[in-house]
Structure formats: structure tokens, C-alpha cells
Structure 1
Amino acid sequence: MNAKRYAIRDWPEGERPRERLVAEGARRLTTAELLAIVLRSGARGQSAVDLGRTLLGEWKGLAGLESAEPDALAETMGMGPAKIAQVKAALELGRRLLAEVERVARPRVTSSKDVMELMAPKLRGLQHERCEVILLNGGNEVVAVETLSEGSLTESPVYPREFLQRANRHHAAAVILVHNHPSGHSQPSAGDRALTEELVLAGDLLRIPLVDHVIIGRRDHYSFADRGLIEEYKRRPRRPA
């Protein structure tokens, strides 16, 4: 290859990574090509794309590159302080973006108001009863939301074993039960109260606490936790099996 071809500016425009990114989008570029844009130039006898490939090969991918110390990166020909700083800055931006996306994708639920913001758009207005479980990690972040059951106008059967299996499957630290009342009234039925007490006791035995049961009505909601009933159920003596 002619020495001039090592400079990306001498490549045909349709082959240059930066121009391709603008025209086709970043996802169409290889990891080495994206690194080349960050590096801006290569080394003696290497284009920026070649240098990107070298770095990825030496460090077994982006994860290794991210953990590499600057002094170690400097041992690669062409990697001076400026290029090392550029690569480290780009990788740190990627890490921060991932953390930001995870925060957005995993809202924290610490109150019945949070439950309503998360679940009311999904359940309010349904013409049949649906029961959902919100699975939380130790930081009260939502790990998953799953449908436990769908039923008739007046009931949606929930089985404690299935409820706790879902929690175990996702390694949940805590759970919240949510269901709607198609009638529009949010007051719990006798069955709702009995089920909540049963799930509180079962969750305590397995150390996966039920922290709330929220019933969504047409205009309001009912929270067992807000009314102190979750704690009350915990204090009640267990009935003999």
C-alpha cells in the first residue's frame, strides 16, 4: 500500500469512518472504525483504523481497553498522552451513558405515588381485573414488572406460590402487588385483605417482603402500606397450618 494511504484523509470519502458515521450512522461502523474517529490519527505505517484494531487485539476488546492503565497503553506505538486521554474519555462517556440508561430504565419505587406513576397508565381503565407484581432490588429499583393473572370483572386469582416463584426467579429483594378494580372503586374486598395478609406472612418466611399492595381505582388508589396494614399483618400471630 502507498504510504499516503495510511492517512485516512487520503481515503475515498465513502470509506472514511467519520464521513461514513455522518452518512450512515454510528451503528454501521465497526468498533475499530469508531475508535479511529476518537484517535483521529494512526501511527507510523498504520492508519487510525489499524491502530484501533491493534488496541482492540492487544486488550481483548473495549472492556480490557477501559481497564488498561495509561502507562500500559503508552507501550503501543502511536499511543501518546493525547490519544490515551481521548480513548479514556470516550470509554468513560460510554460508561456514564450506560449508568444513566440503567437509572432511567430502572425507576425507584419508594411510595404508593411511585407505584401509581408506574402502573396506573397500564391498569386504569381496563374492563377486567389484572394483577401485576413489581419486583425490586435492594435499592428499591424496579427489576421487572410481571403479570400474575388476569380475570373477570370482579376477580383475578393470585396464588402465593406463583407470586414467590416470580420473586425468586428475578432474585428480588422485595415485591409490590398491584391490581385494578374495573368497578372504579379502590376499596379492598375481604379477599384482597386475606390475600395481602397471606402474602405478607409468606414473604417474611422467605425473606422477600411484600412492601405494599396497591389497588387502582378510576380516580384514586388504596395502599395497604400507607394505612399501616402491612406492618399490622406482620405483627399478627401466625395461624396454625
Structure 2
Amino acid sequence: MSKKLTIKEWNEDERPRERLISKGADSLSDAELTAIIIGTGSGEESAVDVARSLLSKHENCLRCLASASPESLMSVKGIGKTKAISLIAAAEIGKRISKARSKELPEIYSSQSAASIVSPLLMDLPYEECWVLYLNRANRLISKTRMSKGGISSTVVDVKLIVKSALEKLASGIILVHNHPSGNAKPGESDKTQTKILKEAASYFDITLLDHIIIAGDKYFSFADDGII
């Protein structure tokens, strides 16, 4: 059996680090980017081979890899404590960048633009949270607020508190957002009922419930897009 070449023995234009510099990070595959983070392979496999094994164990999904425990990472041959720490640190930097971007106050012009603000905060949570986006008449975001934190399958939607906060912030529109840790974005009957109650209560104060968005992993459901609000 022929010995596998190490990355240093590859042609220069095939090495991940050199290609990142010459062609940009977006030219690299997920495995190649992961290989750069872990730095080295095992005695038998290159860093890219180890990275492929890592991704394979975690559903070939970078988000799944970013949420993996140290134990899960270290169960892959070639990944020790130091490499696991590097992977977790890199994932945390990515999450913080996403959260920092979500702190900007953009114009909300679609369900996608609304979901992108809160999704980084909710998509990986193992429990439900309820958030509200408060908008002015120009659909500019005034603030985003976590209203409640619940269990695996439910969280409290306090209609009085949401409307009170909207009045205090002089908001003209609100968007209700919560997550489904199950990964199923489809709304339940309780979601529909809560939406109807909040919409009616807000309307008494000339405040419009613009949407109710359910975040489920990297997917979302919009009541407005589906025409049920």
C-alpha cells in the first residue's frame, strides 16, 4: 500500500493555506477550512482527511460541528484536547460575529430580514425563547427584546408586557419571534392562538403585529408570508 502524502508534499496550488492566500477563503471547502483550524492530521491521515472525518461524524454540517461537545470532537481519531479547543474557539468567534451583526439596526423589509436578526440568538438553543422586534413607522428596528425563556416545548407570551413595552418605546409595529428546538418550524394551534390574541390587543393601541416568526435551526416559518396573520 502506498503511503499517503502529507499536505506539505502536495502541489503548492492544492494546499489549503496557500490557496486561501492566493484565491481567498471562499475558494476552500468546509473540510479544508476545518483542516486549517486543526492544523495537523494524525500519523496516518492528513489534516484534511481528519477534517472530513469530523464533518462526516457531525452530519457534514458546519453548524452541527460548531455545536458539538469536546467529547464528541475528541471521539474522532486525530482530534485531541488542543484541537477540540481550537475548533470550539473558532465556532464561538463565528457566533459572536453573527450576534454583533444582529445588533445593527437595519430596516425590516421582509420576513427574511427579520429572521436574520434573531436567528443567531435562537437557532441552536435547546429550549424555547420568545423575542419581540419593535419597529418605528419606517420599519426601522427600535430594539429587540427577549420577553421570556421557557422549556423544551413552550414559552410564555405575555401579551400585556409586549404591548406595554411597545407603548414605552413608541413602536408602531412589532414582530413576535420564538424558536422550536425540535427543528420543526410548523406552527401549532397554541402559536396561532397567541398570534391572534396579540394582534387584537396591539391593534387597540394602533400598533400593528407585522409578523410572527418561528425559528427552527436554520429554517424559519413566517405567519405573514403564509398569509395567516
Q: TM-score, normalised by structure 1?
A: 0.51
Task: Establish whether residue 164 from structure 1 lines up as the match of residue 163 from structure 2.
Answer: yes
Give the partner amino acid of 1:177: L
Secondary structure class of the residue paired with 1:229: coil
Task: Establish whether residue 186 from structure 1 lines up as the match of residue 191 from structure 2.
Answer: no
Q: 1: CA distance between counterparts of 2:205 and 2:168?
A: 13
Find the structure with the greater CA-based Rg. Answer: 1
Cα displacement (A) at 1:205: 1.5
Q: How does 1:1-241 map to 2 (within 5 A)?
A: 105-230=104-229
Q: 2: CA distance between counterparts of 1:147 and 1:119?
A: 10
Give the partner amino acid of 1:148: M
Q: 2: CA distance between counterparts of 1:110 and 1:173?
A: 15
Q: 2: CA distance between counterparts of 1:199 and 1:127?
A: 25
Q: 1: CA distance between counterparts of 2:115 and 2:210?
A: 15
Structure 1 residues not aligned, in runs of 5+ = 1-103, 231-241
Q: 1: CA distance between counterparts of 2:133 and 2:157?
A: 14
Secondary structure class of the residue paired with 2:204: helix
**Which position in structure 1 is the counterpart of 2:54?**
none
Secondary structure class of the residue paired with 1:106: coil
Secondary structure class of the residue paired with 1:126: coil
Q: Segments of 4+ in structure 1 off by > 3 A?
A: none
Secondary structure class of the residue paired with 1:211: strand
What value does the CA root-mean-square deviation take over the aligned residues?
1.2
Secondary structure class of the residue paired with 1:194: helix
- Per-residue deviation, residues 104-142 of structure 1 (Å, max 9, x unmatched): 942111211001211111110101100000000111011
Q: 1: CA distance between counterparts of 2:107 and 2:217?
A: 24
Cα displacement (A) at 1:179: 0.5
- Per-residue deviation, residues 12-58 of structure 1 (Å, max 9, x unmatched): xxxxxxxxxxxxxxxxxxxxxxxxxxxxxxxxxxxxxxxxxxxxxxx
Q: 1: CA distance between counterparts of 2:116 and 2:220?
A: 11
Give the partner amino acid of 1:158: V
Q: 2: CA distance between counterparts of 1:134 and 1:219?
A: 19
- Residue identity over aligned pairs, in percent, reads 34
Q: TM-score, normalised by structure 2?
A: 0.54
Give the partner amino acid of 1:150: K
Cα displacement (A) at 1:169: 1.2
- Per-residue deviation, residues 74-123 of structure 1 (Å, max 9, x unmatched): xxxxxxxxxxxxxxxxxxxxxxxxxxxxxx94211121100121111111
Q: 2: CA distance between counterparts of 1:105 and 1:189?
A: 31
Q: 1: CA distance between counterparts of 2:124 and 2:107?
A: 24
Q: 2: CA distance between counterparts of 1:118 and 1:211?
A: 15
**Which position in structure 2 is the counterpart of 1:79?**
none
Q: 2: CA distance between counterparts of 1:125 and 1:210?
A: 26
Q: 1: CA distance between counterparts of 2:105 and 2:221?
A: 24
